[in-house]
Amino acid sequence: MAQYPVFAAKRSLIDAVSRDVLITILFAVACWGLNSWYAATGSTLSLIVAWVATFIMAFLFTYLVHEWGHYLGARLAGADIPLGPANGILLGLFDNAAHSRRQFQWMAMGGEVGYLLPAAVLIALFWNWVPLQGLALGAAAFIVQALYVDVPILWKIHRGADIQATLDAGLTPKVILSKTAIGWTVLGVALGGYAAMG
Q: Which of 73, 91, 71 is nearest to 81 (CA)?
A: 71
Q: What is the CA radius of gyration of the chain?
A: 18
In contact, 151 and 185? CB cutoff 8 Å: no
- Residue 2 pLDDT: 43
Return the pLDDT at 12.
Answer: 78
Q: What is the pLDDT of residue 5?
A: 46
Q: What SS3 string covers the chain?
A: CCCCCCCCCCECHHHHHHHHHHHHHHHHHHHHHHHHHHHHHCCHHHHHHHHHHHHHHHHHHHHHHHHHHHHHHHHHCCCCCCECCCCCCCCCCCCCCCCCHHHHHHHHHHHHHHHHHHHHHHHHHHCCCHHHHHHHHHHHHHHHHHHHHHHHHHHHHHCCCCHHHHHHHHCCHHHHHHHHHHHHHHHHHHHHHHHHHC
d(CA 36, CA 46): 10
Say if residue 93's pLDDT is above 70.
no
Q: How far apart are CA 32 and CA 158, in angstroms?
A: 42
Give me the pLDDT at residue 32, please.
97
**Each residue of 112-159: pLDDT tens digit?**
998 999 999 999 999 999 999 999 999 999 999 988 988 999 999 989
Contact criterion met (CB below 8 Å) for 134 and 54: yes
Task: Give the amino acid at 65.
Answer: V
Distance CA 37, CA 123 (A): 22
What is the C-alpha separation between 70 and 47, in angstroms, rounded?
A: 34
| Angle between helix 173-197 and 133-158 (nearest 10) | 130
Share of the chain above pLDDT 90, in %: 44
